[in-house]
Amino acid sequence: MIDKLKKLYQDQFYGFVVRMVVVYGVWRVLLKASQVIEPFKVLWGKMMGVLLKIITSTSLLQLKIMGYNVKHHDAFLAIKGSAGVVVGPACIGIGVMFIYIGLILTYYGSKKLQLKFVVGGLFLINFLNALRVTILCIISKYNNDWVEFNHKIVFNNLLYVCVILMWILYANITNKSIVNTEKDNNAKD
């Protein structure tokens, strides 16, 4: 029985699924700990505050570069004459980031390539989140009724599509590397 489980785990697909289930479990534990364990709660709050500041500052900069007159206070951004948007904890995208990291780290590949994709992917996810806030501010300026739909449906799905595309790119690069290594090993034999 144990040998069958080991063999199943060593299978690329099933091993990946098992590791992703573990990552999901770790995510749920961390999320719960961030709500009930005081020192962890404080650390989590500081991390979320830093991410919130990065996203709102980047969005503010993007809007100013585009020439908009922007009102800004903490997590609130608005183009003058609009209702604006409030960037809440759920808007930071920590769940999406954790899923992305999990996808990269649970798939086979070199640690160096994984590190490059994790760092680059997190940078891209945060940039896209800031761009999302920027575009929502612009939508709020011209038709506030469209903000909620775009926020909940359009931009969330686009972000997940980007995460999946980054993971597919990583998997393709990793698979090509494995195939090339096997060819090189076969040629030596």
For 107, the domain range is 49-174
Lowest pLDDT segment from 2-11, 18-27, 113-122: 2-11
Percentage of the chain modeled with pLDDT above 90: 48
Report the domain count for the chain: 1
Domain assignment present for 19: no
Q: For 130-165, what is each residue's pLDDT tens digit?
A: 999 999 999 999 988 888 888 888 888 899 999 999
Question: Whose structure tokens read 């940078």?
Answer: 123
CB under 8 Å to 139, separation ≥6 — which residues?
A: 146, 147, 150
Say what the pTM is: 0.82
Domain assignment present for 102: yes
Percentage of the chain modeled with pLDDT above 70: 92
Domain assignment present for 142: yes
Highest mean predicted confidence (pLDDT) among 24-33, 99-108, 157-166: 157-166
